């Protein structure tokens, strides 16, 4: 739904696209051009579900609403991620990358008196900036097969010096059937340096009890300080792998261009790994690059082999598969196909790892900067779009007739692919 010592306004361009392909685990790091030779997935035309020009909350008081409008915080409150729970409720992340005054970073979308509004989730108090343990800055989040929401908190907020160190870098887990918090997982500085980290996306392996997290590293100097985190949920330990590796870093040979416009011309965005997604059986992890043109993957057994060095892991990475530009969000369906938001092409693509076919399933002016992907229980793919290049550059219009932020639903012939072992999937 973001640079060497980036000031907050550059800090958010990170969200996700797809991962690479590899049918039988060949060890390759050479380019693999995707070919469009197989039939497209069976999908309907995108249906616009929500659209708004200015992000607006269901404020508790008229004074809160008035202050938000007077300070024009809406100019720095773009839509990012979108997910749908088992009950059909729609959630969005509104990252505090540009401005810590964004009212709430994790929200539920509601309709009130004909207007689309945001309701903080799980509460206003739980989203209070600067409060110890509260959600400070959420970009990536995920809903698993058990209707649990895994929320990734970057721990810092734009325009504020209130938060220091790694105290607020964390994952918080909620049971969406009850709304209760059921777990929280700290992310220490040893795994993600709070001076450079940009914790972007996550993928849950429910069967093996593992969590994968992408660190886009846009706040690093001399390029993206990016990498992957592997969290063992049983041992409660986390490791960093592929740190600043060729497959996770930004690639300035492919600078980010959106709708024909360079992003931050003269001082290009340095954003590495962004969206990540697991195959349905949890055996392979895919990821995309924002400043680049690549989809990569690796077998998860290698990521969990503590005897392997980063250089050895890099040799086992498959890719790059070229997708035609930079990407933000990724997702996987139950058929093992990778869904990619291509922000350079204003498209949603589907990559078939078996046939190597790349198919476009959505495109057009409404898909300028497609950010994040989510699924409902009826096989609907949800897509958030946000014109982030214009928002971050201060060029978005908030007084015109056209919406800046949109949420689409696309009916597919599949369902979400959850990362599970076959035995765990069969037991559900």
* Residue 221 domain-assigned (yes or no): yes
Question: In the structure encoding, which two tokens stand for residue 407, read together?
Answer: 């949420």
Q: How far apart are CA 181 and CA 231, in angstroms?
A: 19
Q: How confident is the model at residue 221 (pLDDT cuts 50, 70, 90)?
A: confident
- Asked whether residue 204 is assigned to any structural domain, the reply reads yes
Instruction: Write b or e for each residue in 118-140: b if 16 or more Cβ atoms lie within 10 A of its Cβ, otherwise e.
Output: bbbbbebebbbbeeeebbbbbbb
pLDDT at 30 over 70: no
Q: Does a structural domain hold residue 32? A: yes
CA 325 to chain centre: 17
What is the total count of domains within the chain?
1
What's the pLDDT at 279? 97
User: In this structure, what token pair is assigned to residue 63?
Assistant: 């004074």
What's the distance, Cα to Cα, between the start and end of the chain in Å? 30
- Mean pLDDT computed over every residue of the chain: 89
User: Could you give the C-alpha distances from 63 to 59, 67, 69, 128, 274, in angstroms and in order?
Assistant: 9, 6, 10, 17, 37
Query: For residue range 308-318, what is the model confidence (pLDDT) as tens digits?
Result: 999 999 999 99
Q: Does residue 2 lie within any of the structural domains?
A: no
Cα distances (angstroms) measured from residue 320 to each of 131, 183, 265, 377: 42, 36, 25, 32
What pLDDT score does 165 carry? Answer: 64
Domain of residue 37, residue span: 8-426
Q: What is the pLDDT of residue 161?
A: 56
Residue in 125, 131, 78 with CA at minimum distance from that of residue 102: 78
Helix/strand/coil (H/E/C) assignment for every residue in 102-156 = CCCCEEEEEEECCEEEEEECCCCHHHCCCCCCCCCCEEEEEECCCCEEEEEECCC
In a domain, 78, yes or no: yes
Tell me how far apart the alpha carbons of residues 107 and 55 are, in angstroms, rounded to a whole number: 11
Question: How far is 25 from 297, CA to CA, in rounded Å?
Answer: 9
CATH of the domain at 188: 2.120.10.30
Residue 9 has pLDDT above 50, yes or no: no
- At 237-278, the pLDDT tens digits run 999 999 999 999 999 899 898 988 888 877 888 999 999 999
Task: Name the pTM for this structure.
Answer: 0.89
Beta strands in 9-55 (DSSP E): 32-33, 47-52
Q: Which residue has the tokens 């949109």?
A: 406
pLDDT in tens, 111-160: 999 999 999 999 999 999 999 999 999 999 999 999 999 999 999 998 76
Residue with tokens 């959106």: 258
- Report phi then psi at 329, rounded to 5: -105, 155
Whether the Cβ atoms of residue 15 and residue 201 lie closer than 8 Å to each other: yes
pLDDT digits (tens, 9 = 90+) for 48-84: 999 999 999 999 999 999 999 999 999 999 999 999 9
In a domain, 3, yes or no: no
Instruction: Tell me, yes or no, whether 349 lies in a domain.
Output: yes
Q: Which letter does DSSP use for residue 419 in this model?
A: B
């Amino acid at each position: 739904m973001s640079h060497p010592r980036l000031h907050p306004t550059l800090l958010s361009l990170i969200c996700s696209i797809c991962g690479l392909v590899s049918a039988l685990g060949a060890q390759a790091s050479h380019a693999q051009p995707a070919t469009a030779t197989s039939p497209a997935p069976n999908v309907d035309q995108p249906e616009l579900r929500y659209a708004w020009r200015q992000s607006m909350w269901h404020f508790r008081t008229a004074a809160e609403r008035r202050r938000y409008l007077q300070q024009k915080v809406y100019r720095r409150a773009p839509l990012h991620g979108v997910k749908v729970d088992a009950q059909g409720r729609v959630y969005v992340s509104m990252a505090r990358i540009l401005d810590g005054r964004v009212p709430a970073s994790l929200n539920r979308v509601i309709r009130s008196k004909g207007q689309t509004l945001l309701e903080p989730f799980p509460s206003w108090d739980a989203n209070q900036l600067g409060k110890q343990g509260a959600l400070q800055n959420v970009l990536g989040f995920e809903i698993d097969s058990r209707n649990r929401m895994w929320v990734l908190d970057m721990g810092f907020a734009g325009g504020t010096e209130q938060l220091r160190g790694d105290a607020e870098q964390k994952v918080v887990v909620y049971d969406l059937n009850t709304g209760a918090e059921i777990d929280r997982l700290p992310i220490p500085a040893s795994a993600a340096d709070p001076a450079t980290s940009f914790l972007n996306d996550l993928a849950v392996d429910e069967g093996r009890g593992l969590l994968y997290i992408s660190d886009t590293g846009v706040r690093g100097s001399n390029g993206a300080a990016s990498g992957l985190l592997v969290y063992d949920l049983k041992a409660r330990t986390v490791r960093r792998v592929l740190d600043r590796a060729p497959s996770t870093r930004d690639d300035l040979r492919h600078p980010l261009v959106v709708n024909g416009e360079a992003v931050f011309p003269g001082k290009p965005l340095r954003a590495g790994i962004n969206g990540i997604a697991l195959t349905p059986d949890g055996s392979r992890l895919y990821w995309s690059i924002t400043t680049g043109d690549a989809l990569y993957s690796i077998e998860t057994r290698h990521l969990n082999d503590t005897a392997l060095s980063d250089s050895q892991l890099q040799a086992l990475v498959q890719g790059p598969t070229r997708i035609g530009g930079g990407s933000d969000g990724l997702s996987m369906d139950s058929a093992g196909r990778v869904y990619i938001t291509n922000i350079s092409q204003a498209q949603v693509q589907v990559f078939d790892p078996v046939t190597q076919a790349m198919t476009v399933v959505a495109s057009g002016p409404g898909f300028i900067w497609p950010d994040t992907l989510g699924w409902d229980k009826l096989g609907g793919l949800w897509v958030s779009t946000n014109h982030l290049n214009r928002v971050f550059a201060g060029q978005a219009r908030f007084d015109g007739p056209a919406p800046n932020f949109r949420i689409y639903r696309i009916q597919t012939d599949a369902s979400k692919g959850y990362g599970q072992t076959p035995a765990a999937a069969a037991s559900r």
